[in-house]
Copies of this chain bind each other. A is one copy, B any other.
């Protein structure tokens, strides 16, 4: 089903009413507000929605509103007679429980209808307290998040009500709700309203206290009911006279208007003040900037300018976050568990200075990374703030180890790195130098490429066939392309390493390095690779066999690199499992690691244990910057000396900040549990290679798979405008035919991007392009139905 957009209309002020506890008077306050709005202006049209109601029908909240706020439109979506929590009521009735999304969509639909029919004030009243479960058993505060309705919180005036009101407020804040006002009854003995007034004043939230309503008599007969009605009517009359509801309504109206005005002006203001990363501002206009009101799961709630919506359209639209927010997103936007983890660490530590100290989040994360890496070499964890700084550290580590072993003086001679063309490792100048000259760096004044970068064979599906396309230098003996029956077979590296292609790769690599070192006099200090997919370089899918051979040659022929190689290698042989040989091998897993490609580590596709590995992006599940550089003990030892200044001279102020580490522990554990519990087996089944009948078996799940359907990839590979396509893990990449030659500056994919971004239906797709490549990326928790509807848009656009 379609994602739900957030609920925001210019003409309709809609609020959600939450209670600090049950029985705090939500419906009474709602009645007061509805009446007051009607009093404000005779043509005001007011509505009241109770999505889920429990308790006897004659007692239902919408009935109360009908009786005491005459003229108010009312609606109740689900009514249960039993006066218990909806999740129990729903069970007892043996009722087909609506999916949370369905419930939220119904609320949205009801409000949209009202907005279209001229209703200008609406309340959506929840059941019980903020965390009281909905029919599915999920907390209301969680399930209504997508709507992003501003909150009217009814506080608790009873003894203990200060505490429950503040806690309820905090639970709402934790989920990113905006509380627009607080109301409660006055109790002159406990005086909660006084305390809370001062509390909420500090947060600029208006609080209004109201007279206490008459207590309810037991409903023994019709008389009692009538008496109660009368008492309430009198009460409502009195409140209307004596309280400053009008003032509160003005504040609510002002806050609503302010929200819309801010959203409407945000693009202009951003255009004035923000200098965007990797963005050419020349010719950029304010309208090219999208205001994001909020986000949930895989969706942004993006603002649509007032001149582009009709009266019944919400100004906010669900937009699929098709770049997984620059490849960071893993567990969904606004994930309450991550928010709570962040808050816990912030509350327990803040940031505590790291050198010489240790705290639980940093230690837990380091140990979890080491034990889960699947690489016995990696024993030490160094923290930094992002992939770029983590790669700077990796380079400092690798170069030092090499210089140390080979006896080079790096201040007097240039030490280079070996890599692949199209690699990208970050934006700080040191790691820019690890990439060959390209659009990304050639205009950076201090950039000086320091290395050699191999051209390499690339994997893609075209015309329904998985192919490995050879670069010029490798075409001769191997022919143009290799073809494979399945993606699994491309990844059968242990088998392929024996093939002619493997032999040719190794020979080519060895000869090239020999030439660079012995004829051109280059010195190399590290081999750096992004395993499998080179992300920023254009979603380049490297033949895993080539990367494997590169590592094999570098490690198998240490004499290529320096004269001490043999001697050093003797002491600790590669077989020992921890010693590096030839060059330190650095894997930049900032993009490819932590389940982005479906596995904890993309290195496992190659069966190569790197000496240094860098993780970031998904490390925190998509919430905060944090990076780890892991290294072997041998690399670590290269910095050990009695000289203080031989230490690894790196360390940011917020190194190993507790908030990031805590969130990362939570994220990593969640993702590992998903893997262990087979959450992705459905995808693995979809990608199961079609084997000859003799070899097939029912439990044969693909070892290489994607959340994007195999059939889609197959179909798109036949599309006229598509040059090649692949999917792996959460990544789908489409290389479009470009008459102008491709590359970062190409515009070939813009058309498709444009189509997806204004698909016009119920939601949009936000995507990023890299030249002629358009990619889509999900989180690891994306729901298959959401992905299938996006696939539908792609099919529409391309087939």
Residues of B within 8 A of A768 (CB): 353
Residue of B nearest to A328 (CB): B653
Which one of B83, B270, B282, B631 contacts A642 once the chains associate, using CB atoms below 8 Å? Answer: B282
Residue of B nearest to A430 (CB): B429
**Is the pair B342, A745 in contact by a Cβ cutoff of 8 Å?**
no
**Docked CA distance A654–B385 (Å):** 10
**Docked CA distance A475–B344 (Å):** 56
Given A160-B21, A386-B652: A167 in contact with B131 (beta carbons within 8 A): yes
**Is the pair B646, A443 in contact by a Cβ cutoff of 8 Å?**
yes
Given contact pairs A289-B357, A343-B343, a sample of 8 additional A-B residue pairs in the complex whose CB atoms are under 8 Å apart? A21-B21, A132-B163, A278-B651, A282-B642, A290-B357, A428-B429, A430-B432, A443-B646
Is there a chain B Cβ closer than 8 Å to A751's Cβ? no
- What string of 1s and 0s marks CB contacts (under 8 Å) between A261-296 and chain B? 010001101101111111111110000111111110
**Is the pair B273, A357 in contact by a Cβ cutoff of 8 Å?**
no
- Can you list 7 A-B contacts (CB < 8 A)? A176-B345, A274-B366, A342-B659, A410-B445, A410-B446, A617-B653, A625-B625
A137 to chain B, nearest CB (A): 7
**Is the pair B280, A643 in contact by a Cβ cutoff of 8 Å?**
yes
**Is the pair A283, B326 in contact by a Cβ cutoff of 8 Å?**
no
**Is the pair A132, B647 in contact by a Cβ cutoff of 8 Å?**
no
- One complex includes copies of this chain to the number of 2
Residues of B within 8 A of A411 (CB): 442, 445, 447
**Is the pair A162, B349 in contact by a Cβ cutoff of 8 Å?**
no
Within 8 A of B (CB), among A522-538: 525
A526 to chain B, nearest CB (A): 10
Is there a chain B Cβ closer than 8 Å to A346's Cβ? yes
Is there a chain B Cβ closer than 8 Å to A147's Cβ? no
**Is the pair A291, B358 in contact by a Cβ cutoff of 8 Å?**
yes
User: Which 9 pairs, one residue from A and one from B, show the smallest C-beta to C-beta distance?
Assistant: A277-B651, A176-B348, A129-B163, A429-B430, A22-B160, A176-B347, A339-B346, A410-B445, A333-B350
**Docked CA distance A329–B653 (Å):** 10
- What string of 1s and 0s marks CB contacts (under 8 Å) between A640-656 and chain B? 11111111111111110
Given A274-B381, A277-B354, A385-B385: A283 in contact with B163 (beta carbons within 8 A): no
Is there a chain B Cβ closer than 8 Å to A79's Cβ? no
Is there a chain B Cβ closer than 8 Å to A389's Cβ? yes
Given A280-B646, A383-B277, A645-B442: A349 in contact with B295 (beta carbons within 8 A): yes
Given A342-B343, A356-B276, A358-B290: A195 in contact with B137 (beta carbons within 8 A): yes
A621 to chain B, nearest CB (A): 8
Which one of B356, B445, B641 contacts A396 once the chains associate, using CB atoms below 8 Å? Answer: B445
**Is the pair A347, B174 in contact by a Cβ cutoff of 8 Å?**
yes
Give the interface segment out of A107-115, A307-315, A433-441, A721-729: A433-441
Give the interface segment out of A37-45, A84-92, A495-503: A84-92
**Docked CA distance A526–B128 (Å):** 62
Within 8 A of B (CB), among A137-153: 137, 139, 145
Is there a chain B Cβ closer than 8 Å to A388's Cβ? yes
**Is the pair B160, A133 in contact by a Cβ cutoff of 8 Å?**
no
**Is the pair A334, B348 in contact by a Cβ cutoff of 8 Å?**
yes
Is there a chain B Cβ closer than 8 Å to A515's Cβ? no
A782 to chain B, nearest CB (A): 14
Is there a chain B Cβ closer than 8 Å to A493's Cβ? no
A533 to chain B, nearest CB (A): 15
Residue of B nearest to A447 (CB): B411
Is there a chain B Cβ closer than 8 Å to A190's Cβ? yes
**Is the pair A353, B87 in contact by a Cβ cutoff of 8 Å?**
no
Is there a chain B Cβ closer than 8 Å to A175's Cβ? yes
Residues of B within 8 A of A655 (CB): 277, 326
A356 to chain B, nearest CB (A): 6
Is there a chain B Cβ closer than 8 Å to A30's Cβ? no
A450 to chain B, nearest CB (A): 7
**Is the pair B625, A279 in contact by a Cβ cutoff of 8 Å?**
no
Given A328-B654, A346-B623: A279 in contact with B132 (beta carbons within 8 A): no
**Docked CA distance A399–B326 (Å):** 28
Residue of B nearest to A590 (CB): B653
Is there a chain B Cβ closer than 8 Å to A61's Cβ? no
A26 to chain B, nearest CB (A): 11
Residues of B within 8 A of A788 (CB): none
Residues of B within 8 A of A22 (CB): 159-160, 163
**Is the pair A624, B382 in contact by a Cβ cutoff of 8 Å?**
no
A341 to chain B, nearest CB (A): 9
**Is the pair A275, B382 in contact by a Cβ cutoff of 8 Å?**
yes
**Docked CA distance A131–B165 (Å):** 9
**Is the pair B654, A344 in contact by a Cβ cutoff of 8 Å?**
no
**Docked CA distance A88–B161 (Å):** 14
Which one of B294, B363, B617, B659 contacts A269 once the chains associate, using CB atoms below 8 Å? Answer: B363
**Is the pair A171, B170 in contact by a Cβ cutoff of 8 Å?**
yes
Given A280-B643, A433-B446, A745-B645: A380 in contact with B275 (beta carbons within 8 A): yes
Is there a chain B Cβ closer than 8 Å to A657's Cβ? yes
Which one of B166, B276, B381 contacts A354 once the chains associate, using CB atoms below 8 Å? Answer: B276
Of A275, A339, A648, which is in contact with the most chain B CB atoms at under 10 Å from its CB?
Answer: A275
